Amino acid sequence: MTDSAMPINAPPKRLGRSIFAVSAGFVAVVILSTGTDVVLRMLGIFPPLERSMSNSLFLLATVYRTIYGIVGGYLTARLAPGKPMKHALIGGAIGFVLAALGAAMAWNHPEFGPHWYPVALVLTAMPGAWIGGRLALTRQATD
């Protein structure tokens, strides 16, 4: 197709920026979650890896992972080249699939914790991404 035959209103391809936005949100969630786990173990709040955690500690992990999922959705939406909510929800869908795979793998291994914990991560993945995307849209509207 020649330059003169290309439509004037054709949007530029932004696939690279889209991939970057979703990846950045995902990486932020992984770094924040893993970093918090390490710090809580260093502080003695979480037991060493070879010891099991109590339900209350799994609840704490669920809370901060949910918050970090919101942060990831927010970051993804803010970095998206267009359609910020769509990007945030794609990131949430990736988190949902990975959490579901983790839940399936951990199901028959009680040493990985109670069943409700991976199920909670699955159930909070999409709402967290949506909330993060919504917060980014609200912030964008006020900028």
pLDDT one-digit tens code per residue, 73-101: 999 999 999 999 999 999 999 999 999 99
User: Which residue, among 63, 60, 61, 85, has the nearest Cα to 73 in the 3D structure?
Assistant: 85
129 close to 69: Cβ distance less than 8 angstroms: yes
Buried b (16+ CB within 10 A) or exposed e, 14-50: eeeebeebbebbbebbeebbeebeeebeeeeebeeee
Q: Confirm whether pTM is higher than 0.85.
A: yes
25 close to 75: Cβ distance less than 8 angstroms: yes
By CB atoms closer than 10 A (0-12, 13-18, 19+), residue 2 is exposed
Q: Average pLDDT over the chain, rounded to whole?
A: 92
Give the start-to-end residue ranges of the domains of the chain: 17-142
User: Which residue type is seen at 141?
Assistant: A
User: Which residue type is seen at 129?
Assistant: A
pLDDT one-digit tens code per residue, 12-41: 668 899 999 999 999 999 999 999 999 999
CA distance 120 to 111: 17
What token pair was written down for 69?
């999922």
CA distance 33 to 31: 6
